[in-house]
Chains A and B, each alone.
Chain A
C-alpha cells in the first residue's frame, strides 16, 4: 500500500512539476494576427484598384502618453490612408515592454503583422533573424528613395554593408536640458560645453536638496546610450569591426566610470537616481529638483509636468574638450523608431504603400509634430512645427554630431548585459561603496564573458 501510494503521489507530483517547469520551457506565445478576408497580390506589382479592399495589420510602438492616446492619434492618420488607397489598416499599439517579444514570437511562427515599428537600436539584431523585409534600392524607390532621409537615421536602420531592415519613421537625439532660473540663481551665465564645466556647474547647483544633474541609473537602455557617447568621445566603440565585443578597453572603462561618477565621486546627481527607471529624471528636472538632464525630445513630457518651454534651454551634450571634431564631437546616439515590413507578409504591395504614406512629407510633419520627435525625412524638418529652439538644437545634433549605436547582431545582448552592469555600479555608488577603474573593469569583463559568439 505504501509503495503504491508513494508512486501515485510521485506521478502526481511529476505532472505538477512538469506543468510548472513548462511555463519556463515554453514561454512564448503567438501573434493574434487576423488577416481573414484580405487579399494577396502574390508579390506582383499591383495597381491601386487591386490593393483597394485589402487589410493590413500594423503593430505600432507606444509613442505618446498612453496606448489609447496613440490609438486615437494614429487612427486619425490611418483613416486618411484608407480614404486615399482603399487599404484598411488593422492597428495595434504595443507597449515597449511587450513589443520585442511579440516580434520574436511573430518571427518564430511566421504569423506576424504586415507592418511594424521597431526601436532603431534593434535593427541589426532583428535583421539577423531574417524576419524583416530588406529595403534594397528598388524597395526604397517605391517610397521616394533613400536620399529623402537623414543619413544618420538610415545608418541606424540595419547593419553596415547590408540593405536596411527598416525605414526611419521618428528620429530623436539627446540634448542637455538646463533650467535657466537655477543657472541664473547660481551665477552661471552659459550652459556647459565640456564635461569639466558640467561637473563644475553641477557642484554649484547641488545645494539645498537640489542637484546639478539627474540621471536614470537603473534604466539599462539609458545607461547604454550615455556610455556609448562617452566611449565614442574617447575614440572607442563597444564592438570591433567583426562584431566582437570590446567592453573592457581603457576608454570604455573610463566612459562608464565617468558616467557613474556623477553619483559616486562628483556627487552632482542624487543617490536616489541610482534606482530611477521610469523617466523620474524628467520629473526631477521639470519640478526643479535637478538643474540639468540629458534627454531626447523631452518637450512634451516636460510640459506635462507644467514646466514652460521658456523656463529651460537645450544645448548639445558636452564633449571632453571644447571644439572637438570627428568621433570626439559625437554628443548623441541616433535615437528613433523605424518602420519595417514583415518578410512573411502576404500584402507586400499594400504594406509598401502604407510605409510610403507614413514616410510621406505631410505625414512626417503630422506624426512627428504630435510626438515631439524629429522627422527623419529631411524635407519635413523645415516645417515651422520643428523650428522651436529645442527641436532646432536636437535636429542639429542629429545631423552633425549623432552616431548610430553599433549595428551588430548582438547589440541587444550588449544592452542587456552592460546596461545592468552600469546599473549595478550605480547601486554600489549609491550605497557608498567605492567605484574604481578595477571594479568597473570587473563588471564589464563579466558582461563581455557572457556575450554569445556573433
Chain B
C-alpha cells in the first residue's frame, strides 16, 4: 500500500515540475508603450525564425526612439486585438488598421501613416473576375475582423457575393487551391505575399477603395496624452524621411504618403 501512495505522490509532484512563471516584471524607468499586433500579416508584422519583424515593427521602433519609450509588442489573433484594446491590455494596435467611420466613432486615431487600397486577388488562371461586379455568385475570402467584408457588403446590397471569413490568411491557400474564387486584401501586402510565397495569384482591376491606416487609441485622458506624443513622433519621422525609408525597405515604394 505504501508503494501505491508513494507512486501517487510522485505522479502529483511530477505534474508541477514544468510550471514556470511567464511574466517577467520590467522596471518602470522608461515609459513602456504596449502595442498589439497579429504577427501573422506578412510583410507588415510577421514571425520568421520566431522573430517578430516587419514594416509595423520598424515604424514603432522608430516612434519609440523618438519618444524615448520602450515598445512592448503583444501578439494576438487579429480578431482579438480590439478586445485587448478595449480592456486596456494594450495601448494601441499596429496592424494596418483602416480608419473606417465606425472605428473613428469609437476610437481616436493617430495621424495616418499609410495610404493603401483594398485589392481583389484571384488565381492566375481566372479570367472572368476584374471587379466587385464579377464577384456576384462567387466565393470571396476576407480576414475575420477586417473591414473588407464591410466594404463588400456596402456595395453588395442583395447579398449576391458569398463572403467567407478566415482566421489568419488561409484565403491565399484557398484561392491557390481554387476552393474559393478570390480574396480581398490591401494591395501592398498582397503583392509582397505573392512574391514571397511564389503563389499562382494575380491582382485584378483598380483598388476597390482607398484605405487610410493608422493606430487606434481609446477615447480617454490617458490615451489622449500618448496619442499626442505619437502624433508628434509620426510628424517628425515623416519630416526627416524615416517613414519613407522604412517603406522603401519593405516595399520598394512609398506607401506612407497620399
The reply to whether chain A is a binding partner of chain B is: no
Interface residue ranges, B against A (CB under 8 Å): none
Interface residue ranges, A against B (CB under 8 Å): none
